[in-house]
Amino acid sequence: MSMLLLIRSADDVRSAIEAANEFLVYQRQCVAEPREADEVIGIWLRRELDADLPDWLCLDRELGVPRDADVGIRASLSLSGLWTLCWIDGGLLRTAHSATERRRAIFDSLLGTAQSANATKTFFPVFAAVDAVESIKANMLVLEDRYPQMIGGTWFLDDWERGIVPARR
């Protein structure tokens, strides 16, 4: 499942990443091998963290039974209102064939509609540590073009053994 790290403010980025990494590394040590969709897709600065973000299960009004949302938060883990790690799920993510497609589905569903005054409009993409730098730069150009007011000027890498680490250019 794809993940987003929501952080309350720019001042909390370093400590939030360190704390989230402790959890991610521990969790990943319990898993036999990396799974493609168990990736951190991005870091999103939001004053209200996960407020106004969709749950992953919606209720079909006609049948009264749960159905999958296109994209939503399946579960989350939070620390003292400073950061929240969200597991994102939904039909759009399950049919995506790559991290790039999953990232675009999340951006289009969550970031594209984030007009709330509570939402800080800064998002830092996170790419797999094994991705080629040229591929990351190309993806960053697409994201910056599509979301010019939201994409931060830097990116991070998701290393299976170390967690979220700053990219070295």
Give Cα separations from 130 to 9, 18, 81, 154, 166 (angstroms): 28, 21, 32, 17, 14
Report whether pLDDT(28) > 90.
Answer: no
Give the model's pLDDT for residue 168: 64
Give the model's pLDDT for residue 117: 45
Distance CA 90, CA 143 (A): 21
Residue 162, both tokens: 């170390």
What pLDDT band is residue 60 in, cutting at 50, 70 and 90?
very low
CB-based contact 151:104 (threshold 8 Å):
no
For residue range 83-142, what is the model confidence (pLDDT) as tens digits? 999 888 777 777 888 888 888 877 777 665 555 444 556 889 999 888 888 889 998 998
Of 106, 103, 154, 165, which is closest to residue 130 (Cα–Cα)? Answer: 165
- What is the average pLDDT across 64-74? 59
